[in-house]
Structure 1
Amino acid sequence: MPRSLCKTREKTSTKIGRASALMLSRCLINNPEKQQSKQAMTTPQTLSTELLQAFGQTHYIVHHEPPFTMHIGRPCSELKILMTDQNALSAAFITAWNPFSQNLPAKENKARQNELKATLKKSGLTCIDGIGQHPSNNWPGEVSVLVLGLDLEAAKSLARHYEQHAFVWAAGDGVPELVQP
């Protein structure tokens, strides 16, 4: 095998992550129809304790075969296995629904989510549909996507672009954590 191809999985995955971050940045910046005002690209300063608690209690369901549920701060063996199988050192569970927790009509949410998925498709990363659902069902579930191999900075960029207060991210240990962009 040529020396240039003899890379550790970590180095390869890191380069893929950087490449995907660059690709996603180009997709977001170079497409005028996807650009938003500076105000829309800015996340509000702090989240209420109630909202952070709700995010922490939400069930993040991945529509894989078989489906599995992630919980913030709890190891998820299914996620870890999936990441290992896909040679991914990280994963992000993200949505374009309900910007800054403002409930939008279903048609708008679907259009936003379709745009997110189209952007991710261009990156070549593995994406699996999912939904974030609070167990109380007081807030409608938000259609989401698990993106394997997406590095943290690229995930933050996507979350800011789609006006999200937070998203779920996991390193190779398979423990989902809540991240504010």
Structure 2
Amino acid sequence: MNADRALPNVRVLTAAPLPVGPRLARGWRITAYEAAGAVARLGRGSRAVDALLAAPRVRQGAFVGAWNPLSRMMPRRWNDRMLDRLRVLARRAGLRFLDGRGRATRPAWAEEHLLIFGDLRPVIVLARRFRQHAVLRVRLRAPSRLLVLR
């Protein structure tokens, strides 16, 4: 599948990305990413997310998870342990974050995430460590963009 046509708000950060099938592409398009009541959607700006970014005086952040590595379903308890580990590593790295969630209704789907504020380089390192396929970058007064890592 050509990710450029299927996902126009995507930036691929790897020379040889894993194939993105239509189900995964659709999942990214229909997911609402939420933290502290603010909702971000792929390719759209959000005043509520802008307010979250403005509070700690940062211009960007990213929704990143530790659940379901490489988009493969894992048991809830395993996913929760990995998210707890992500929180520990984010704190250890001095990163500011809020708990968040990604969810869609058709099909019903939800995953826990963190919205990590600031420089994306350490966020991308963490996302790759937890074998995440992508992160959703949010920027002040700009549409969100999916950064494909694998």
Q: Distance in 2 between matches of 1:125 and 1:155?
A: 9
Higher relative helix content: 1
2:101 corresponds to: 131
Higher relative strand content: 2
- Would you say 1:176 and 2:149 are equivalent positions? no
Most deviating of 166-175 and 69-78: 166-175
Q: Distance in 1 between matches of 2:27 and 2:18?
A: 18
- Would you say 1:47 and 2:15 are equivalent positions? no
Q: Output the amino acid matched with 2:88.
A: A
2:38 corresponds to: 68
Q: Distance in 2 between matches of 1:157 and 1:125?
A: 12
Structure 1 regions of 5+ residues with no counterpart? 1-42
Q: Distance in 2 between matches of 1:99 and 1:77?
A: 30
Q: Is the 8 A contact 1:156 1:180 kept in 2?
A: no
Structure 2 regions of 5+ residues with no counterpart? 1-15
Q: Distance in 2 between matches of 1:162 and 1:88?
A: 24
Q: Distance in 1 between matches of 2:98 and 2:126?
A: 16
- Which of the two has higher C-alpha Rg? 1
Q: Percent identity?
A: 26
Tell me the TM-score normalised to structure 2 length.
Answer: 0.81
**Count of residue pairs brought into register by the alignment:** 134
CA RMSD of aligned residues (A): 1.7
Tell me the TM-score normalised to structure 1 length.
Answer: 0.68
Q: Which 4+ stretches in 1 moved above 4 angstroms?
A: none
Name the SS of the counterpart of 1:134 in structure 2: strand
Q: Is the 8 A contact 1:59 1:133 kept in 2?
A: yes
